[in-house]
Amino acid sequence: MQKTFRQPEIPSFIMLEKPLLEERRASEGGASASGGIDRDAPGDCRPWTIRRVVLQESKLLLVGCTVLLVRMPFSIAMPYLQARVLAKLAVKDAHEVWLTVKIMAVAGSVDAVLDFWCVYLFSLTKSRLVKSLRLALFDKLLRQEIGFFDVTSSGELSSRLTTDIATLANDMTWVFRFSIEAVARILGVGLTLFHTDWRLALVTCTSIPLIAAGNRVYGVWLRENAVKVQDSLAVANAVAQEVLSCFRVVYSFANERFESSRYRREVEKNFALNKRQAAIDGVYYMLVSTFLMNTVVRLLVIGYGAHLYFGSAMDFEKLSRFVFFVDMLQSWTNMLFDSFSNLVKSGGASAKVFEILNREGGRGGRGWGEGEGAEPMAAPGHVSFENVSFSYPARPGEAVLRGVTFQAEAGKTLAIIGRSGSGKSTIVNLIENFYQPDVGRVLLDGKSVAALGHEELHSAVAIVNQDTVLFSGSIYDNIVYGARNEAVRRGWRGKELMPRVVEAARVANIHDFISTLPGGYEEEVGERGVQLSGGQRQRIAIARAVLADPRVLLLDEATSSLDHESEKAVKEALDRVMDGKTVVVVAHRLSTIMNANSILVMRDGEIADQGPPERMQEWLKTAATDMEIVD
Ligand SMILES: Nc1ncnc2c1ncn2[C@@H]1O[C@H](COP(=O)(O)OP(=O)(O)OP(=O)(O)O)[C@@H](O)[C@H]1O
């Protein structure tokens, strides 16, 4: 049921015009509009692989490869022309020398211009891939179930989003820029070598089987190590993120030294892996690149070439041309080695990224993005649990709820009480469909919450926790957060939203405070709302819930985290918000319990008792301490 808001005067400092609908359209159309990766379009079940990612940009790559092929004759012409200049110098043919120099100048210039296009096209491909992969991964993370985040640290995930994708992309740049070019050039030079002298060309090829065997061994090892390197980096990042985001706790216990050594330990593990990789890289390049290619092949070519030259089976120009081409072949083979090792490393970096992208995700109910835009149904907000048993995915064997059955009647308040760990918050979590019961059903107005659309459920149910989470941004942004989907559905812009935001802030007892701030509703709250007091944060969170105008309000009542004044302001705000709604409150205050319509007593995951407060009055007095109930 939509609440009708009194339209207050809009304060003069508010000049907001936030086009939420356009914002959403931009975010949804972002990837396809830019021609990037299809971000797991519905119905697309193809697994994510490097091949799939690369194929997404096949058109750009094709253009890049065409430019490479066009460029190749100009690049390959250079050693050929150089050898010709040397030969003509030896016979003092000035006309031919200058003519060849002019041809070299033209060929070199065309080569340079085409080089620009190669670099540009392949770098562009890389940037598009990074952008699309980041978007796809982030969207995939948003589609995961809450249990996934219980067992995966946010630091690790941000490492996947940033470091892993950046490594993958950097390495891919090499691969695109050089491996395709290297293969094209090696083929071109190879053909030219055979055309120049097939015997010397065969000698040049003798090392190929050895190089192939070396690459295979190196590749297997490198891939394994690359996965370990990225994993150790993710662990180090997770530690850093945790410490930085909880820095006040670190500071207040003077644990900087401990945290420094904890981070150092993880960075050292990453360093040890990198060191091992550096040593193996060294051995590989020493044997394959420097010894085999640069020394053995060169000695064979010059030795056998000299033999042919002295036996008059080859002239000087041909021999010097051959030597120049072998030089070119060597530098491009080295390039190919680099590309190969980078490709293998990017395989390591991408392993976890693809693992997440290919993750099924056990989110119950319809996922994010499905059935959105639908008008929320007008229903009274009746919550019921039918024989619910549940254990958390992180601890599958441990039943936290057992056979829980109760009703929270529409428009009434149900207070849940019980000892710490008895399962009170778990009940709230299940109403939010954060997790699904192992047995039984959780119903909202007769429908299983798991069967309701994601937006539909969460526009009907709002939660206010003790542990208030605000986002960095303005107070306005944080309050509007409660009604973003509705604002989009109704096409509201800033001027339609502002009166609602102000009204919500008034209901939540925070408008007067906001009006005293220099920036008013546009005042920044800092990361996680650090620039506000606990009570102010809570009242902004209440305003956010008021704006969401839910049918069911879930409250986790604070015990003593606030001073008397703030607690009074928060309590008044809550009393106003609760009016006329179905409220399920994890209660710690006797007044809240006595004002509730019904009380549910939890003990070790089971319902110990339930009934109206009048019936339990006497019992409550004796059990207050045990149940952590305060006056
Ligand atoms: N995400 C989770 N993963 C695994 N176990 C959990 C998780 N959350 C809670 N638990 C466990 O479930 C049990 C019930 O927790 P719950 O938070 O529901 O208790 P509570 O009655 O709300 O306690 P409190 O009053 O202290 O908040 C506890 O034993 C707790 O350790």
Ligand 1 centroid, distance to 426 Cα (angstroms): 6
DSSP-derived 3-state class of residue 627? coil
pLDDT at 19: 46
Q: Of ligand 1's atoms, which has the minimum distance to the CA of residue 146?
A: 1
Residues 6+ apart with CB under 8 A from 222: 277, 280, 341, 344, 345, 348
Q: What is the pLDDT of residue 98?
A: 94
Cβ–ligand 1 contact at 418 (below 6 Å) = yes
| Mean pLDDT value across residues 203-216 | 80
- Tell me, using a 6 A CB cutoff, whether residue 404 lines ligand 1: no
Tens of pLDDT, residues 529-577? 778 888 888 889 888 888 888 889 998 876 545 666 667 777 777 777 7
Kindly give, in sequence order, each residue whose CB lies less than 8 Å from that of residue 428, ignoring residues fewer than 6 positions away.
416, 463, 554, 556, 584, 586
Rounded CA-CA distance 587/589 in Å is 6
Q: What is the pLDDT of residue 604?
A: 92
In ligand 1, the atom with minimum distance to the C-alpha of 586 is 22
Q: Which of 34-43, 94-103, 362-371 has the lowest mean pLDDT?
A: 34-43
- Cβ within 8 Å of residue 55, ≥6 positions away: none
- The Å distance, Cα 511 to ligand 1 centre, comes to 34
- Residue 132, pLDDT > 60, answer yes
Q: Using CA atoms in the order 398, 448, 577, 429, what is the torsion angle rounded to 10 degrees?
A: 20
Ligand 1 center to 154 CA (angstroms): 20
Check pocket membership of 605 for ligand 1, CB cut-off 6 A: no
In a mutational test of the pocket of ligand 1, which residue from 389, 402, 424, 557 has the highest number of ligand atoms less than 8 Å from its CB?
424
- 5: tokens are 């808001």
Distances (CA, A) of 475 to 2, 429, 504, 531, 571: 23, 26, 12, 11, 20
- From ligand 1's centre to the CA of 129, what distance in Å? 41
How many whole angstroms separate alpha carbon 248 and alpha carbon 243? 9
Mean pLDDT of the chain: 81
Q: Which CATH superfamily is domain 383-623 in?
A: P-loop containing nucleotide triphosphate hydrolases (3.40.50.300)
- Burial of 372 by CB count in 10 Å (0-12 exposed, 13-18 middle, 19+ buried)? middle
- Rounded-to-integer distance, Cα 337 and Cα 331, Å: 10
Angstrom distances, CA of residue 83 to CA of 106, 201, 295, 317, 561: 17, 17, 22, 6, 84
Is the pLDDT higher at 161 or at 376? 161
Q: What per-residue confidence (pLDDT) applies to 562?
A: 61
Residue nearest atom 28 in ligand 1 by C-alpha distance: 421
Residue 429 Cα to ligand 1 midpoint, Å, equals 10
| 27, pLDDT greater than 50 | no
Q: What is the greatest pairwise CA distance in the chain? A: 119
* Bigger pLDDT: 524 vs 589: 524
Average pLDDT over residues 389-411: 93
Asked if the model's pLDDT at residue 31 lies above 60, the reply is: no
From 179-183, 185-189, 325-329, 448-452, the region with the lowest mean pLDDT = 179-183
Domain positions in the chain are 48-232+271-357, 383-623
Measure the CA–CA gap between 71 and 188, rounded to whole angstroms. Answer: 11
Query: What is the model's pLDDT at position 383?
Result: 94
Name the more confident of 439 and 20: 439
pLDDT at 431 > cutoff 80: yes
User: Does ligand 1 lie within 6 Å of residue 147's CB atom?
Assistant: no
Residue 36 has pLDDT above 50, yes or no: no
The lowest-confidence range among 47-61, 95-109, 229-243, 264-278 is 47-61
8-state DSSP, 482: G
Q: Tell me the C-alpha distance between 70 and 37, whole Å.
A: 28
Q: Is the CB of 254 under 6 A from ligand 1?
A: no
List the residue whose alpha carbon is closest to atom 18 of ligand 1: 423
Q: CA 338 to CA 340: how far, in whole Å?
A: 5
Average pLDDT over residues 506-531: 87
Mutation test residue for ligand 1: of 388, 425, 628, the one with most atoms within 8 Å of CB = 425
**Using a 6 Å cutoff on CB, does residue 425 contact ligand 1?**
yes
The answer to whether residues 386 and 441 touch, using CB atoms and an 8 Å cutoff, is yes
The more confident residue out of 495 and 481 is 481
Mean pLDDT value of segment 264-274: 93
Instruction: Mean pLDDT check: name the lowest of 222-236, 360-374, 419-433.
Output: 360-374
Range 146-170 average pLDDT: 83
Asked which of 481-495, 538-552, 572-586 is least confident by mean pLDDT, the reply is: 481-495
| Ligand 1 centroid, distance to 421 Cα (angstroms) | 5
Query: Ligand 1 in contact with 397 (CB < 6 A)?
Result: no
* C-beta of 395 in contact with ligand 1 (< 6 A): yes
Confidence of residue 30 (pLDDT cuts 50, 70, 90): very low
DSSP readout, 324-388?
HHHHHHHHHHHHHHHHHHHHHHHHHHHHHHHHHHT------SS-TTTTTTPPPP-----EEEEEE
400: CA distance to ligand 1 center in Å? 8
The DSSP bridge pattern shows strands 461-464 and 598-603 to be unpaired
Atom number, ligand 1, closest to the C-alpha of residue 628 = 25
User: Residues 509-536: what's their mean pLDDT?
Assistant: 87
Q: Does residue 466 line the site of ligand 1, with CB under 6 A?
A: no
Query: Given this model, what pLDDT does residue 78 score?
Result: 84
pLDDT for residue 71 is more than 90: no
Whether ligand 1 lies within 6 angstroms of the CB of 41 is answered as no
Alpha carbon of 423 to ligand 1 centroid (Å): 6
The whole-number average pLDDT for the span 348-359 is 82
What's the fold here for domain 48-232+271-357? Answer: ABC transporter transmembrane region fold (1.20.1560)
ipTM: 0.97
Among 504, 525, 500, 505, residue whose Cα is nearest residue 515 = 505
